[in-house]
Structure 1
Amino acid sequence: MFAEVCGQQGPWALLLLWCISLSAADLSWPCPQKCNCRQDTLEVNCSTKHLTGVPEGLPNNAKRLDLSGNRLKTLSRRQFYGLSKLEDLDLSENVISMIEVEAFQGLKNLRFLRIKNNRLKIIPVGVFSGLSNLRSLDISKNEILVFLDYTFQEMGNLREMNAGENDLVFISQRAFVGLLSLQELNVDRSNLTSIPTEAFSQLQSLTKMRLRRLTISILPNNAFRRLHQLRTLQILQWPSLETLNSNSLIGLNLTTLVISNCNLSAVPYTSLRHLVYLRYLDLSYNPITSIQGNLLGELLRLQEFHLAGGSLLRIEPGAFRGLVHFRLLNVSSNRLTTLEESAFHSVGNLQTLRLDRNPLTCDCRLLWVVRRRFRLNFDGRQPTCSAPDHVRKREFRDFSEVELPVVFICRQARILDRQTQEASVDEGINIQFECKADGYPPPSITWLSPQQTPLSSVGRIRILANGSLEVRYVQVHDTGAYLCIAANAAGNDSISVNLKVRSFPRNYTSPYFSDEGWVETSLPPSTNSSEQVSNPYPFDAKTLVIATTMGFLSFLSSVAICFVFMFFWSQSKGQIKHTATIDFVPRTSMGGSGDGADTGRFTMKLI
């Protein structure tokens, strides 16, 4: 009968049947008031509806529930108990300050939970009970002060947790117990005063960690022990971080390390030396002034090195020697004037080079870069000459092949005055030897001692700022030939000077230089005690009188203090007799026994 009616009515009957089925479906999938529901995606959207509580009548088979941007204050126990199919729950940007224990009980299929930007100060143990299948948890931008022991113990499948931008001051040692699968952790902008090493050591599946805007000034030894699976460590925006201890990263097998926007003044070579799996190193925005030679060679797999926005003045020859896989160097926005080819193990492996925003001097030292200007990737930012003046502000790509031998040139270092310098002097005086040189680029001046050891700008024998050598308070063992070397990228030049120091006779009055400084004496110091003249009177008469007087005054002061103490002590003992009567029998002038003689008496007053 129904088929006959459909056949007679045609498409109108089909449309009627579709409307009836749609109405029945709507009746079976209720939607709370003020919320928007989509049955096709099983999504309930209650975002920014000014709700003060979780709405009632939520469909039991909903997979996504968005309650963000409302005015929720509290989540009660088993608040979402009937939503066993729920996979994604967003509670962000509310005013939640309290979550009761087992608030999420029953959400056995929940995968994503976001509670960021609320007012939580503490998370009681048991709040996350029942979330055994949770994969991602975001509790950032709250006011959480502490993570207690076993806070996350039932979240064995959690892979990612964002706990950044809280007021964290302490993480208990067992706070992360149970997070057996956690791979990524962010603890940003907290008030931690030390690395919670014991807590982190529970996260043995962790592969990525980000620590941003902490106030810790030093990274201690064994800071991340037991994190053998950690591959990416990001330490960002620690303005107080100045030092990494030598074993601070021990035990890690990192492939990516970022220590950016901190206060490191030098590359932490000793802390990095064991990171043989490291491929990506970023030390940008630190006040590092140089990259030394032959100290990164143990990072055998290093491919990228970033040190942008620093204070780099020099990259020494051999800085990247031994790095056979090195592909990218980013040293933009520094104070480099040049970058020599000798800094690299092989420039043929180099693919990307960022040299922009440096005051580059375009001479022979940069010729190797210009010749590769069409093959190297400058990441869209061409290097620019700052000197010499006639090529100032010109980009490398603007130079033609004809110009290269004319512009990118150097002139070998040459010592200007090659006149022989010899000096024969007595002990104790100061002397200087000059060494002036010319060349392009300006050569550096070094001096070698007679023992062929380099001299420095400090000490009794030192190199002055103008390149001269100064020997102060010359001594006999300073005798010898000193070598001045002027060097630049085009070559070296050298010249030697001779110094001869005459010693004084033993009976000659002369000053000498000792460990205590410059001493005036009639004889030089002697270690032979038999040659020393002993003085039978080590003190003069004036010294003896002063010492005796001071000793006598000290004695009188002590006696006076004792009498004063005895006087006050006697006053505290009650009634005191101030007179004493003494009877006595005087002797007879004849020397008798005195029997029957008159007795005498006198009275004595006590003070």
Structure 2
Amino acid sequence: MSLFSLTFLFLLLATHSAKPPFPCAECSPSCPHRCVCYENADLVDCRSGGFHRVPRGLPHGSWLLELGGNNLSVVGTHAFTGLRSLRVMVLTDSQVEEIQPQAFFSLSFLEKLDLSWNQLTILPVEFSTSLSALKELRLEHNFLHYISDYSFEHLDNLEKLDLSYNHLTVIGPGVFRGHSRLRQLYLHNNRLIVVQQGSLDMLPALEVLQLSHNNISHIDPEALAPLYSLALLALDGNNLHHLKFKTFNSLHTTATHIQLSGNPWSCDCDLHRVFTQWGISGLGRQPALHCRNCYSTGHYHDCSGHSGGGTSDGGEKQEEKQWKELGHRVSDTDSKLSILKSRQDKSH
């Protein structure tokens, strides 16, 4: 159920009002034509009113403004001047193609903003100016292909950001920098091809990172290192063939749930180490896995590689022997590293 459900908020405020918040479009001279204003509840409902621009004369004491289902096209500069009490604004499915600079000027107490299901391709650099109190921002189902390093600059209190179902191909370093309270980040169903080092910096509170159904083929080994609180990492449905062991080993949480299904894995011992170390089972049951044999036994010498072409039985045995020898060396190295780490931990 949507957090912006008008019915829910109507009932919620009704329980805290001295009088029930019945619609009173006529009794308030400040209620715009084709809108419904709810007395004592500070709710203004302008849904599907045929508006081509933000209506004028909105009550200055409004707490929630519903503008979904209109044909606004452009949200102009200072479109909401005077609505300093506004906490929730819904602009979903309103054909919005452009948000002009300082469109949300004076909305310094706004906590939830829904811009989903519109036609946005880019956000202005000044998008977040005056939105420092925002806790939830929904931008899913648009056509965004680029996010400036400064568009989210002032969203210091943001806890949930939904950018799913857009056309993003890359998230540059600095886009989310400073969002120390962000807990949920949804980037699934975009066109991302890489997770860059620095793109997730300074997100110590992030618990959910949804990256599924993109075209990600590479994750920088240090890209996930700044995530101290991660509980869910979804990478299913991408184009991942290999993973470096260090990629997940840099995570600071031991209970992170990682989703990796639906990738065209090419089995090697580094990948095997990832799956066994993190307890990810069912690798051999992946239908697109390019691997003859890769057991989840925890013993790296059981990992055998994919043959590039037809070989004789003797060639296959020789190749398998080489892989097992490599596996033994990897296993031995891991044991030594574990002992060294244990000694370092004791010394501290």
Common topology (TM > 0.5): yes
Superposition deviation, residue 136 in structure 1: 0.5
Superposition deviation, residue 72 in structure 1: 0.5
Partner Cα distance (1:179, 1:220) in 2:
21
What corresponds to 2:242 in structure 1? 243
Quick one: which amino acid aligns to residue 56 of structure 1? Answer: R
* 1:175-221 C-alpha deviation (Å, 9 max, x unpaired): 11231211110112222221133121232321110002211224442
What corresponds to 1:121 in structure 2? 121
What corresponds to 2:193 in structure 1? 193
Quick one: which amino acid aligns to residue 262 of structure 1? Answer: N
| Bigger radius of gyration among the two | 1
What corresponds to 1:260 in structure 2? 261
Distance 1:50 1:208, change over 3 A: same
Quick one: which amino acid aligns to residue 251 of structure 1? Answer: S
Quick one: which amino acid aligns to residue 257 of structure 1? Answer: I
Superposition deviation, residue 286 in structure 1: 2.9
* 1:409-465 C-alpha deviation (Å, 9 max, x unpaired): xxxxxxxxxxxxxxxxxxxxxxxxxxxxxxxxxxxxxxxxxxxxxxxx8317979xx
What corresponds to 1:494 in structure 2? none
Superposition deviation, residue 129 in structure 1: 0.8
| Residues 242 and 263 in structure 1, CA contact (< 8 A), matched pair in contact too | yes
For residue 37 of structure 1, give the secondary structure of its aligned residue in structure 2: strand
What corresponds to 1:294 in structure 2? 297
For residue 156 of structure 2, give the secondary structure of its aligned residue in structure 1: coil
* 1:338-385 C-alpha deviation (Å, 9 max, x unpaired): xxxxxxxxxxxxxxxxxxxxxxxxxxxxxxxxxxxxxxxxxxxxxxxx
Superposition deviation, residue 139 in structure 1: 1.0
| Residues 43 and 65 in structure 1, CA contact (< 8 A), matched pair in contact too | yes
Question: Residues 1-400 of structure 1 correspond to what in structure 2 (within 5 A)?
Answer: 27-28=27-28, 30-238=30-238, 240-252=239-251, 253=253, 254-264=255-265, 268-272=271-275, 275=278, 286-287=286-287, 292-295=295-298
| Residues 269 and 296 in structure 1, CA contact (< 8 A), matched pair in contact too | no
For residue 113 of structure 2, give the secondary structure of its aligned residue in structure 1: strand
Superposition deviation, residue 117 in structure 1: 1.6
Distance 1:37 1:108, change over 3 A: same
Quick one: which amino acid aligns to residue 241 of structure 1? Answer: L
Question: Residues 465-480 of structure 1 correspond to what in structure 2 (within 5 A)?
Answer: none
| Residues 76 and 100 in structure 2, CA contact (< 8 A), matched pair in contact too | yes
Alignment TM-score, normalising by the size of structure 2? 0.71
Aligned length: 281
- Which is strand-richer, 1 or 2? 1
Alignment TM-score, normalising by the size of structure 1? 0.42
Partner Cα distance (1:93, 1:196) in 2:
32
Quick one: which amino acid aligns to residue 189 of structure 1? Answer: N
* 1:542-587 C-alpha deviation (Å, 9 max, x unpaired): xxxxxxxxxxxxxxxxxxxxxxxxxxxxxxxxxxxxxxxxxxxxxx
Partner Cα distance (1:122, 1:140) in 2:
13
Query: C-alpha root-mean-square deviation of aligned residues, in Å?
Result: 3.2
Match of residue 313, structure 2, among 448, 451, 458 = 458
Superposition deviation, residue 23 in structure 1: 12
| Residues 112 and 135 in structure 2, CA contact (< 8 A), matched pair in contact too | yes
| Residues 73 and 97 in structure 1, CA contact (< 8 A), matched pair in contact too | yes
Partner Cα distance (2:244, 2:181) in 1:
29
For residue 65 of structure 2, give the secondary structure of its aligned residue in structure 1: strand
Superposition deviation, residue 122 in structure 1: 1.4
Superposition deviation, residue 173 in structure 1: 1.6
- Tell me: higher relative CO, structure 1 or 2? Use CA pairs within 8 A at least 6 residues apart: 2
What corresponds to 1:401 in structure 2? none
Distance 1:104 1:265, change over 3 A: same
Partner Cα distance (2:272, 2:61) in 1:
57
Distance 1:111 1:282, change over 3 A: farther
Partner Cα distance (1:296, 1:63) in 2:
60
Question: Residues 476-555 of structure 1 correspond to what in structure 2 (within 5 A)?
Answer: none
Partner Cα distance (1:63, 1:134) in 2:
14
| Residues 66 and 91 in structure 2, CA contact (< 8 A), matched pair in contact too | yes
Unaligned runs of 5+ in 2: 1-21, 303-311, 319-348
| Residues 24 and 37 in structure 2, CA contact (< 8 A), matched pair in contact too | no
